[in-house]
Structure 1
Amino acid sequence: MKKFFILMPCMLLSHWIMAQNIFKAKVINDQTKAILKGATAVIPDLKISASADTSGLITIPNIPNGKFEIEITYVGFAKSEKVYSFPQTNPNQVIEISLDSSTGELAEVTVQTTRTNQNLQDIPTRIEALPLEELDEKSTMRPGDIKMLLGETTGIHVQQTSAVSGSASFRIQGLDSRYTQLLQDGMPLYAGFSGSLSLLQVSPLDLRQVEFLKGSNSTLYGGGAIAGLVNLISKVPEKEPELTFLLNQTTAKGTDASGYYSQKWEHIGTTIFGSYNYNGAYDPSGNGFSAIPQTNRFTINPKVFLYMDDRNSGWFGVNTTYENRLGGDMQVIAGKTDSTHQYFERNKTFRFSTQLSFTHKIDEESKINFKNTIGYFDRQLDEPGFDLKGKQLSSFSELNYVRNGEKASWVAGVNLITDHFTAQPPQNALSYDQTTIGAFIQNTWKANNWFSLESGIRVDDNTPAPSKPSSGLFILPRVNALFKINDQLTSRIGGGLGYKMPTLFNDESEQDGYQHIQPLNIGNTQAEQSYGLNGDLNYRSALGDEAVINVNQLFFSTRVDHPLILQNNSFINAPGHLLSQGAETNVKLVMDELVFYLGYTYTNTKQYFNDPTTAQPLTPKKQFSFDSTYEIEGSFRFGAESFYTGPQLLSDGTTGKGYITFGLLVQKMWKHFDIFINGENLTDQRQTKWGSIYTGSITNPDFKDIYAPLDGVVVNAGIRIKLLNK
């Protein structure tokens, strides 16, 4: 009997040991199939957990027989909850678990601007990206252009350059718009004479992602990217065809109608985007001038994609836009002119450009890319007693080699940029020609799991050359480093040199309407040269099972030597430098269907031209933004947002008033159509409420700087019809 009592516990212990099971799973991104190292598995009933290793493998030993729910979580992805029975049929099986990115969460994003198509989290260069989900929301708020999309981005300030025509440019980190680049699919389609109208002629419905690079980025993109760049990534054909129509009406007499179609077959695909945008002249203040001009615009952008085989692919596209924009005295717009009512601004523009891209895949790690764009822009600017007609013919061609290795990635290439502008008499002295030949190389080295270094250098030769010391030849180095301090905390720091060739096309010229601007002699003018530095800290973590938080703190400093300034209607090099310093804070909190976003920008831009030092006009020091969204994916969306723009120095020495705007969005979605209603500037903040926007008479007005909205409360409502959708 004694032996029985001794053997019984041993047998039970032996059975308990035999009943232990092992759970093995590999966690991947459902869309990209990339492994999700660091994913967490929890068995709540047993109070045990484990994390995925560098290969994405999760191993949980010592699981008793029975049925247990296992929860798989990863920051930025929806949680997987599934019941598993033990023992399993195949004890050695490694279960593959795919996680879907959650709406609004901080999911993995692949960026194109760096040419290597890497994950956003693994790139030493600091890049911000607006994915398709957020662009979907923006397209219902302002379907006709991307002015609002950029204006609501931290660190970017949209500056209206005409009081009556609505033309605008954007500034990054307190620097003039001429120091920024606006690209589409990595190609410069919007520059020079066409720059001030570009924000108003690009629709968000045709985009699948927007990427922002702030600070010097001249290595890959050349002169002009001193303050940064915005890259608009177009949609491409997917496996499932798409046919979408959007109709929109505003209380400010605006109507938008646009359509998008895409389909992909075995060896060919296509996307077609077309739109018509109309706006009647709108004067909410009753001051007699249009806050929104009378506008008619047609756009058609077809593309053809070729998938020849596993190694060769490419696409060809055409961008065409015609616009007639008439602003000014409301009576003149209505066709009732007399000796008093004569003032108007008319912009007739025609934009036609081609885009070509071809990729040859050498092997799994290497490829060669060729891309080209040829752009034609015809603009006629009419004002009383003044007529400027000009045609701009520009081109961009690039051949690059990309190699993505396990430890090191390389990008090297050469490009050719031409810009030819012809102004008709009597303004033909404004004509110019410019050619830039550039070569660049960039390396991204992943030293280990916590440190990566990106370094590059570019050499540009410009014809005609500006005056010394540069003489048209510029050498532009750049370095960026990524530190992954732990799974939640990362840091980036970097800097580089940049330059900008002298040009007449900037904010001051647009505000003047080119009426009094004297021709620019490039040979007697120095190029503007810059030195930039950026550094940030990024904290990303899950807060419990349902919440995700991301906090990013950026610091920046950019110095521009001998910037061009307008003096006595002529552009000259200032006897000093421009220094822009500041910080950006971005906080994003995701709690299941609820998302909160808070942004703050501090910008201190000063002109060190003379003594005493002065602040840069039209540069608010403080800007706040708050956005909250509640969304049930595919069913309902509600959004509320508010923006504060602080006081800013104006060019006449006065200070513009700070103001707060507020907006609301409600959208209901079904399988084949959505309906939406959106209200902007519901606090009705208007510069015209605080004083006149012009001096002189209504016959010959001299407009002041525009620092606040002119259109007041604007409500839009519409419907999006999805006849074919995923």
Structure 2
Amino acid sequence: MKKYISLLLLLMSSTMAYSQNILKAIIRDGETNQPLIGATASVKGTSIGASTDASGTVELRNIPDGRQIIRFSYVGYQDRLDTLTFPLAQTTPLVVQLEPGGEELEEVVISTTRSSRTIQDIPTRIEAITLEELGEKGNMKPGDIRMLLSESTGIQTQQTSATSASATIRIQGLDGRYTQILENGFPLYSGFASGLSIMQIPPLNLYQVEVIKGSSSTLYGGGAIAGLVNLITKKPTEAGELSFMANVTSAGGLDLSSFYGKRFGKFGVTAFASRNSNRAYDPADLGLSAIPEFQRYTLNPKLYYYPSERTQLYLGFNATQEDRLGGDLRYLDGGQGDFYFEQNNTSRLSTQFNLEHKLSDQSLLSVKNSVSFFNRDIAVRAYDFSGKQVSSFSEVAYNHNSDNSDWVIGANLWTDKFTEQNADAVGARNYDNTIVGAFAQNTFTPANWFVLESGLRTDYVMPAPAKKVEGLFVLPRISALFRISERLSSRIGGGMGYKTPTIFTQEAENLTFRNILPLNASLVEAETSIGGNADFNYNTLIGEHVTFSINHMFYYTYLDNPLILTFRPDNFYEFRNASGYVDTKGVETNMKFGYEWVKLFLGYTHTDARQHYNGTVTPMPLTPKHRVNTVLMLEKEDNFRIGLEAYYFSQQRLTNGGTGQDYWINGIMIEKMFERFSLFLNFENIFDTRQSRFGSIYTGSINRPEFNEIYAPVDGRVINGGIKLNLL
């Protein structure tokens, strides 16, 4: 009898311990009070858990009696732990508010589209490289912005000279001249200035970098066929910033940078200054420089004025001076003789003026202007090409924002004049272009799940390219954002673009503009394009702690009347429109995993770029079909940062019909933070991948080398390290 009583008591206690307690809760955003669809609730130490429905409601069943810890979580929000005693006295659903705190929902405000929306609310697909990421990439390459751009999917920095290290940005397989580089919305790096632009922009004073892939013609003109890169610089704050960076490299490089910014009542100031230099570096012992000898000084002060709460303006000045010399080390060491060399001396002066005035809480009027002076002298043995470029940009724009519609309407004027100095027998390659443009863009939100952005631009180009009546270009563009659920969204968009004829292309840069005939704009057609992309973005929580997000994009661009450099029987080169077109299509996939202070980034790019000339189809040269990005980041805020990177590039077709070898590039970056300073050490290309390991980079003699196309690194392994100081 005692045995049966004991068994009955055991069953009763078990039933009481696992009685049918139910918890109903509504999980909401702590700031907007909107329900969070797909948020999770779980009982700690058990397998009991569930996700919220469309109303943000979740129900947990079979909760044991007694004190239980309930975890409420959602991607991009801080977890909340509540200790509850069951059975509950409360019968109504528990309202739980989660506070934003994760990276996935970090408020990143985008300025490139001029709608002052966060990155989650913009129909145009934009990739933002934020201040934290800029700090990571700045440790790896403090002297220029190549590193922070080249490690993104779909973007490739193409080196155009084996000895002077000049480079351009290629997006989705298209040539660098189809990418527009802006600074705070100002087009400062175009035409003759584009050849060394990304090599002369240090990243220390950047606050954010915004990248749009695909045609972005509405606001910034037709030149952004492949996309645009907008460099957003830091602004003065009440707290102020005073920072310094010093970096040395195993390749003989030295980088010194400083930034100061602070607001004083109605005035504010920022000032950036840097000195970047390198000794000639030859890791392959070829007797030729893989990194040239150079010395560059940069100064960028800005004065801000805030006369009222509705009005602000700034006036900035940018000056860069660089002397760059590459080639035979015997010549660089002062030797006398018939040695090969390539010298680039450049100076850049530009002004930026920007005025913004709020006409009302919903309306903004802006006026901006920049004037740029760029001089460059390129000298090789027995040849010199030099010229002066004077360009300007002016714009007036009106913004009006309402609850469900944003408007941007404006007009702008570009002038671009190039004058060649000491022209030779081919004649001066001078030009004087003027473009007058008007644009309108509307961002419309008819429902919470749908946002539509449409734009139209009309440009009048003088002188008009061939076969273009009055030089008129009409460029429509449209993008749409679909919020399928709280975790899944999609963007679809497309537009048209154009590029006015210019001699400043990658092919001409490779020849140092030698024996290239002047371009008659009235006999050459403008290059025109149409393209689009579509992507899907999904984020979720794996288990209780691992965040996961994936973005997958499809893209296509059709480029008509491509301008190509042709070799004539009289040994001169001439620009002509190809008989055919270029198209590029592919996919980009980005995945991100996060667990506490560990993050894993995986990326893949498939690029199928082809030239359709004279009925023959060939792959686009120097374009890897497959590319893989992997980054593992271990980071504790204000403590330490460790990054492990590996990048794969598949084989590339060369212009001569050959094939470049596939390769991996690996790196390790370490940074230790202290209260006012941090120390960093970076091992770039740690396994010393170099094109010179795959074969000779030139043919002929060292005194008269004919360089092969550059498709892989030539500088090999470089170790750098330094210190960053933050004194405010």
For normalisation by structure 1, the TM-score amounts to 0.90
Deviates more, 1:527-536 or 1:79-88: 79-88
Conservation of the 8 A alpha-carbon contact between 1:282 and 1:292: yes
1:147 aligns with 2:146: yes
Q: Which residue of 2 aligns with 1:79?
A: 79
SS at match of 2:415: strand
1:403 aligns with 2:400: yes
Encode CA deviations 1:56-93: one digit per residue, 9 max, x unaligned: 99999xx9xx99867554422443457799999xx9x9
1:380 aligns with 2:377: yes
SS at match of 1:447: strand
SS at match of 1:189: coil
> By how many angstroms is 1:107 displaced?
2.5
Equivalent positions of 1:82-231 (< 5 A) are: 98-102=99-103, 105=104, 107-231=106-230
> By how many angstroms is 1:614 displaced?
1.1
Report the Cα distance in structure 2 between the residues aligned to 1:685 and 1:402, rounded to whole angstroms: 50
Q: Which residue of 1 aligns with 2:512?
A: 513
Report the Cα distance in structure 2 between the residues aligned to 1:620 and 1:22, rounded to whole angstroms: 54
Equivalent positions of 1:590-605 (< 5 A) are: 590-605=594-609
Q: Which residue of 1 aligns with 2:271?
A: 272
SS at match of 1:178: helix
Relative to structure 1, is the Cα distance of residues 34 and 519 closer, same or farther in structure 2, using a 3 angstrom cutoff?
farther
1:350 is matched by which residue type in structure 2? S
Conservation of the 8 A alpha-carbon contact between 1:560 and 1:577: yes
Relative to structure 1, is the Cα distance of residues 714 and 84 closer, same or farther in structure 2, using a 3 angstrom cutoff?
same
Q: Which residue of 1 aligns with 2:3?
A: none
> By how many angstroms is 1:164 displaced?
0.2
Q: Which residue of 1 aligns with 2:584?
A: 580
> By how many angstroms is 1:610 displaced?
1.8
Q: Which residue of 1 aligns with 2:282?
A: 283
> By how many angstroms is 1:606 displaced?
1.0
Q: Which residue of 2 aligns with 1:3?
A: none
1:356 to 341, 353, 372: 353
Report the Cα distance in structure 2 between the residues aligned to 1:716 and 1:319, rounded to whole angstroms: 27
> By how many angstroms is 1:662 displaced?
0.5
Report the Cα distance in structure 2 between the residues aligned to 1:176 and 1:27, rounded to whole angstroms: 45
> By how many angstroms is 1:313 displaced?
1.0
SS at match of 1:613: strand
> By how many angstroms is 1:477 displaced?
0.5
SS at match of 2:163: coil
Q: Which residue of 2 aligns with 1:550?
A: 549
Deviates more, 1:505-514 or 1:541-550: 541-550
Report the Cα distance in structure 2 between the residues aligned to 1:503 and 1:233, rounded to whole angstroms: 27
Report the Cα distance in structure 2 between the residues aligned to 1:210 and 1:36, rounded to whole angstroms: 32
1:621 aligns with 2:625: yes
> By how many angstroms is 1:634 displaced?
0.6
1:100 is matched by which residue type in structure 2? G
1:707 aligns with 2:711: yes
Conservation of the 8 A alpha-carbon contact between 1:27 and 1:52: no
Report the Cα distance in structure 1 between the residues aligned to 2:42 and 2:139, rounded to whole angstroms: 42
1:612 to 591, 601, 616: 616
Deviates more, 1:20-29 or 1:225-234: 20-29
Q: Which runs of 5+ in 1 are unaligned?
A: 1-19
> By how many angstroms is 1:106 displaced?
5.2
Report the Cα distance in structure 1 between the residues aligned to 2:646 and 2:276, rounded to whole angstroms: 27
Q: Which residue of 2 aligns with 1:327?
A: 326
Relative to structure 1, is the Cα distance of residues 97 and 598 closer, same or farther in structure 2, using a 3 angstrom cutoff?
closer
Equivalent positions of 1:501-540 (< 5 A) are: 501-540=500-539
Report the Cα distance in structure 2 between the residues aligned to 1:654 and 1:411, rounded to whole angstroms: 49
Q: Which runs of 5+ in 2 are unaligned?
A: 1-21, 568-572
Q: Which residue of 2 aligns with 1:7?
A: none
Deviates more, 1:309-318 or 1:702-711: 309-318
Report the Cα distance in structure 2 between the residues aligned to 1:48 and 1:565, rounded to whole angstroms: 62
Encode CA deviations 1:96-128: one digit per residue, 9 max, x unaligned: 8743344xx553321111001111111111111
Report the Cα distance in structure 2 between the residues aligned to 1:276 and 1:80, rounded to whole angstroms: 48
2:413 to 406, 412, 416: 416
Conservation of the 8 A alpha-carbon contact between 2:666 and 2:684: yes
1:76 is matched by which residue type in structure 2? G
Relative to structure 1, is the Cα distance of residues 270 and 24 closer, same or farther in structure 2, using a 3 angstrom cutoff?
farther
1:430 is matched by which residue type in structure 2? R
Relative to structure 1, is the Cα distance of residues 422 and 283 closer, same or farther in structure 2, using a 3 angstrom cutoff?
same
Conservation of the 8 A alpha-carbon contact between 1:411 and 1:443: yes
Report the Cα distance in structure 2 between the residues aligned to 1:603 and 1:96, rounded to whole angstroms: 44
1:316 aligns with 2:312: no
Report the Cα distance in structure 2 between the residues aligned to 1:445 and 1:627, rounded to whole angstroms: 37
For normalisation by structure 2, the TM-score amounts to 0.90
Report the Cα distance in structure 2 between the residues aligned to 1:215 and 1:403, rounded to whole angstroms: 26
SS at match of 1:436: strand
Encode CA deviations 1:617-667: one digit per residue, 9 max, x unaligned: 111111111111000111011110001111111111111111111000111
1:405 is matched by which residue type in structure 2? S
> What stretches of structure 1 move > 6 A for 4+ residues in a row?
20-26, 33-36, 45-54, 56-60, 66-70, 82-88, 93-97
2:386 to 381, 386, 389: 389
Conservation of the 8 A alpha-carbon contact between 2:38 and 2:487: no
Q: Which residue of 1 aligns with 2:649?
A: 645
1:346 to 343, 350, 365: 343
SS at match of 1:190: coil
1:719 aligns with 2:726: no
Q: Which residue of 2 aligns with 1:564?
A: 563
Conservation of the 8 A alpha-carbon contact between 2:311 and 2:355: yes
Conservation of the 8 A alpha-carbon contact between 1:680 and 1:714: yes
Conservation of the 8 A alpha-carbon contact between 2:370 and 2:392: yes
Report the Cα distance in structure 1 between the residues aligned to 2:332 and 2:271, rounded to whole angstroms: 34
SS at match of 2:434: strand
Q: Which residue of 1 aligns with 2:675?
A: 671
Report the Cα distance in structure 1 between the residues aligned to 2:361 and 2:287, rounded to whole angstroms: 64
Relative to structure 1, is the Cα distance of residues 507 and 21 closer, same or farther in structure 2, using a 3 angstrom cutoff?
closer
Report the Cα distance in structure 2 between the residues aligned to 1:289 and 1:401, rounded to whole angstroms: 54
Relative to structure 1, is the Cα distance of residues 239 and 76 closer, same or farther in structure 2, using a 3 angstrom cutoff?
farther
1:688 is matched by which residue type in structure 2? S
Encode CA deviations 1:230-278: one digit per residue, 9 max, x unaligned: 1111111223111111111100100111111111222121111111111
2:699 to 684, 695, 700: 695
Q: Which residue of 2 aligns with 1:233?
A: 232
SS at match of 1:331: helix
Encode CA deviations 1:544-601: one digit per residue, 9 max, x unaligned: 3322111111111111111001101111000111111111111111111111111111
Report the Cα distance in structure 2 between the residues aligned to 1:48 and 1:605, rounded to whole angstroms: 48
Report the Cα distance in structure 1 between the residues aligned to 2:79 and 2:352, rounded to whole angstroms: 41
Report the Cα distance in structure 1 between the residues aligned to 2:24 and 2:360, rounded to whole angstroms: 39
Relative to structure 1, is the Cα distance of residues 412 and 57 closer, same or farther in structure 2, using a 3 angstrom cutoff?
farther
1:99 is matched by which residue type in structure 2? P
SS at match of 1:145: coil
Encode CA deviations 1:134-156: one digit per residue, 9 max, x unaligned: 11101111100011111111001
Report the Cα distance in structure 1 between the residues aligned to 2:472 and 2:57, rounded to whole angstroms: 52
Conservation of the 8 A alpha-carbon contact between 1:470 and 1:527: no
1:669 is matched by which residue type in structure 2? M
Report the Cα distance in structure 2 between the residues aligned to 1:719 and 1:78, rounded to whole angstroms: 33
Report the Cα distance in structure 1 between the residues aligned to 2:274 and 2:256, rounded to whole angstroms: 6
Q: Which residue of 1 aligns with 2:488?
A: 489
Between the aligned residues of both structures, percent identity stands at 46
SS at match of 1:316: strand
Report the Cα distance in structure 2 between the residues aligned to 1:674 and 1:619, rounded to whole angstroms: 38
